[in-house]
Amino acid sequence: MTLPKTIWRTIATIGATATFLVVLWQYDISSDREYRLEVLEPIVLLKEPPQSYPSINAEIGQLLPHEFVKVIRMGYGKDFRAWQVVGSRNQKGWFIESGKNVHVEKN
């Protein structure tokens, strides 16, 4: 049994849309990782993304001044920008940029 042309068109449209969304998502991640952060003061790392407004957000680590960090993701809340990073001691978590705790540059 062969499927009607409309079914094939629908499948092709869904596949093209899904592919486009995956490519867009990958571009978003790669553009986040183009940022370089210089830690200026001690920063507490949080387990959950602050922009998700979790009711409880555990402190899971700390970044120290001048520590090298690798940016994984960037997110926004109502009045803030948040970063997910991995520190030089392999600690991974989120923090809220205060304007004083990090210096941000785009590579």
| Domain boundaries defined on the chain | 33-106
pLDDT at 98: 92
Strand-strand pairing, 43-46 and 59-63: antiparallel
CA angle 92, 97, 100 (to 5 degrees): 120
Cα 23 to Cα 79: distance, rounded to the nearest angstrom: 28
pLDDT tens track of the chain, all 107 residues? 677 888 888 888 998 898 888 878 777 667 777 898 999 999 999 999 999 999 999 999 999 999 989 999 999 888 999 999 999 999 999 999 998 999 999 88
What is the signed CA dihedral for 84, 41, 51, 76, rounded to 10 degrees? -80
- Residue 32: half-sphere exposure toward Cβ, Cα within 13 Å: 18
Spatial contact of 48 and 94, defined as CB atoms under 8 Å apart: yes
pLDDT at 55: 95
pLDDT at 1: 63
Fold of 33-106: SH3 type barrels. (2.30.30)
Chain Cα centroid distance, residue 38: 17
pLDDT at 22: 83
What is the signed CA dihedral for 78, 84, 35, 32, rounded to 10 degrees? -70
